Structure 1
Amino acid sequence: MAVLEAKIVLFIVAPCEKGTYPPLLFCHGFMLGNKWYSDLLCHIASHGYIVVAPKFYGIIPISITEEVRRAAQVTEWLPTGLPPLLPEEVNPDMDNLALAGHSRGGKTAFALALGRTEQKPPKKKVVDVTQPSKFKAVIGVDPVAGSSPRIAPTPDP
């Protein structure tokens, strides 16, 4: 376990064999803890991923906007904060960062990948492809849209 800015507790699972592995940021579902996914996250790590699962809140849930901001904080922390916490000779391949989430965490993951860290919808309706995403893959495990349309992408007609 690691704590980031005293608000975000991280559950980290990594391979034990030396090597360079892609990190996977996993966002938990609504009212679920990050350790509740320990079996799944250990299974993913056994296939060659360093899994980082932040716990975004305790008993009282936070807004989806704040959850996305906290996920962005963890993403920014990864390149410098993660390596010292890993086993010796296990290194993160930050060029192949993946993002996943379950339920509301899936919504958080997609919002983060789209750069939706603000409460107001973007003025542009077109995704700016000149700004490459930090993430090589985004995985939604039963993602939900929830009640916050400000974060949800606008469907194309």
Structure 2
Amino acid sequence: MPAAVATVMQVLRERFPHLDVVHKEDEWVEARVAPDELPTVARFLRDDARLQFNFLSSIAAVDYVEKGFEVVYHLLSLPEGRRKLILKVTPAGDRDNPEVPTVTDIWPTANWHEREAWDLMGIRFTGHPDLRRILLREDWVGHPLRKDYQDRRPVRERQFKEDWIGRSG
């Protein structure tokens, strides 16, 4: 196990012994956090001198349908270079109202990532300073990356100059 991985796992387990923390692959560590703990854990990850997870690379929302949603944060420690963390959160609430606290006050890069997850998956980030659509029109109904999303727009037949094997039609 790389030293960077061992350090991250040790520090997290010391501070949050109840968290599920595992070594995934290469230099990635994964930790599962409850939504109500997210702000506390996130601030610790950023501010602790041994960790310094100062860069939020991305936020992804995943729809497992039966299991529900999961929000995945990819964090890097730029000062340490080799420290990488995947933070996973299962939103509070039901399928119609999944909620996770915002981390925009901890990592400003979360702003547009959270807006995208709201727009396309319907994850509400409580406390977000400007949670509104970022990719779709404001009047769009629903969240199209959910697995149960049904597009209500009529299907249009498309005309092609060539069929699928390249012959003129």
TM surpasses 0.5: no
> TM-score of the superposition, structure 1-length normalised?
0.33
Q: 1 or 2 for the larger relative contact order (CA 8 Å, sep ≥6)?
A: 1
- When Rg is computed on C-alpha atoms for both structures, the one with the higher figure is 2
From the two aligned structures, give the one with the greater helix fraction: 1
